[in-house]
């Protein structure tokens, strides 16, 4: 039985496009449609005059002083979006607003409708880490923080996909800390791949699968270092890249690009029956500074996620030890993997 309410789904981009926000907009929408009677789409939003000017200003500043303006979190952009959304809400009232990646859409929105704000990072914790948040003007840094504080203050509930982002949000606005939660995102797949049966090491090479649009931010160098570490240990391994083109410095006979775009048939990578899936390292900056190494073991389950232990795939991994620096152990196995989280 579906929940008898109307939810407004607020996105800047087209939520039905699987490419937006790595598919999270699309798959979250599909799950809501399965559980809620009515969904009102507030998006995609038109490119406002403020957005065009802010983007142009950033391009000019990058070429002249060589510093960045975080236009996406500027109050001018956020207020221009707010005016559009407020008009839509008057025509189509809803019981609840859900705003994934909605920093600039909810920060200055004037409405009494409760808002659930969802994001995978907190700007206060990501300043200087993500490319778009590096070398910012001081005034742009403060604008970004102010817009984020406004969004956290406006939301009835703020959900972040990692403990790192959630804790940064609580520090950014302590008075809203009791309205911040950490809920890991799903895999953005129509159906979960079947877990391979536990068995002996495969006859062929160990295939490592890297899925990501951004090589650096998503931990591509870590996956490549893992490949080299395995080869140095005498293990026949291959790294299959899907979603981006690695830099020439990461060329290797055992590194191949299956598809330079994520928008490809799943059979391009699903057939790898023994793979080590490397998820995003953006949710944990310190992890991207370390080299992930893993060695061949007699027992395995197929998918190994090199991510913070308590946020890794629950069906496949279990935590050994009291904190996030614990070693990871494959479920139904007593063999720990020599990879440490951050």
The pLDDT tens digits of the residues spanning 77-88 come to 999 999 999 999
Fold classified for 3-182: Rossmann fold (3.40.50)
What is the spatial distance between Cα 135 and Cα 306, in angstroms, rounded to a whole number? 29
pLDDT value, residue 331: 33
At residue 342 the predicted structure's pLDDT band, cuts being 50, 70 and 90, is very low
pLDDT value, residue 199: 62
- Report the SS3 class of residue 41: strand
At residue 46 the predicted structure's pLDDT band, cuts being 50, 70 and 90, is very high
Lowest mean pLDDT among 25-29, 217-221, 284-288: 284-288
- Report the SS3 class of residue 273: coil
Can you say whether the dihedral through the CA atoms of 333, 335, 337, 340 is positive or negative? positive
61-79 average pLDDT score? 93
Confirm if 336 and 298 have CB atoms less than 8 A apart. no
Q: Is the pLDDT of residue 162 over 70?
A: yes
CA 87-92-97 angle, 5° bins: 90
Q: Is the pLDDT of residue 287 over 90?
A: no
* Span 109-128, pLDDT tens digits: 999 999 999 999 999 999 88
At residue 337 the predicted structure's pLDDT band, cuts being 50, 70 and 90, is very low
Going by C-alpha positions, the residue among 168, 37, 39 that lies closest to residue 100 is 39
pTM of the model: 0.71
Can you say whether the dihedral through the CA atoms of 72, 73, 75, 80 is positive or negative? positive
At residue 304 the predicted structure's pLDDT band, cuts being 50, 70 and 90, is very low
The runs of H, that is alpha helices, within 199-335 are: 220-232, 267-270
Residues of the chain with CATH 3.40.50.2000: 3-182
């Amino acid at each position: 039985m579906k929940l008898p309410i109307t939810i407004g789904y607020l996105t800047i981009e087209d939520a039905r496009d699987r490419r937006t926000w790595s598919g999270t907009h699309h798959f979250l929408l599909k799950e809501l449609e399965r559980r809620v009677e009515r969904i009102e789409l507030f998006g995609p939003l038109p490119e406002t005059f403020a957005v065009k000017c802010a983007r142009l200003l950033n391009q000019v500043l990058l070429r002249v002083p060589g510093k960045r303006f975080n236009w996406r979190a500027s109050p001018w952009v956020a207020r221009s979006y707010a005016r559009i959304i407020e008009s839509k809400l008057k025509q189509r009232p809803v019981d609840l607003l859900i705003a994934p990646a909605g920093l600039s859409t909810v920060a200055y929105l004037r409405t009494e409708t409760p808002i659930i704000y969802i994001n995978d990072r907190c700007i206060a914790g990501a300043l200087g880490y993500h490319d778009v948040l590096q070398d910012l003007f001081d005034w742009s840094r403060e604008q970004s923080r102010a817009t984020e504080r406004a969004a956290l203050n406006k939301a009835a509930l703020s959900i972040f996909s990692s403990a790192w982002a959630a804790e940064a949000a609580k520090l950014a606005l302590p008075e809203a800390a009791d309205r911040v939660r950490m809920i890991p995102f799903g895999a953005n797949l129509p159906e979960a791949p079947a877990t391979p049966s536990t068995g002996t090491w495969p006859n062929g090479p160990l295939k490592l699968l890297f899925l990501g649009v951004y090589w650096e931010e998503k931990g591509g160098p870590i996956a490549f270092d893992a490949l080299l570490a395995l080869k140095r240990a005498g293990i026949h391994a291959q790294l299959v890249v899907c979603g981006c083109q690695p830099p020439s410095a990461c060329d290797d006979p055992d590194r191949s690009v299956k598809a330079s775009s994520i928008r490809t048939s799943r059979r391009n990578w699903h057939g790898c029956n023994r793979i080590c899936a490397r998820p995003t390292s953006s949710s944990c900056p310190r992890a991207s500074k370390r080299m992930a190494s893993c060695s061949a073991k007699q027992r395995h389950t197929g998918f190994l996620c090199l991510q913070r232990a308590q946020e890794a795939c629950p069906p496949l991994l279990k935590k050994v030890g009291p904190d996030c620096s614990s070693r990871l152990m494959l479920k139904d196995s007593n063999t720990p993997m020599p990879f440490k989280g951050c």
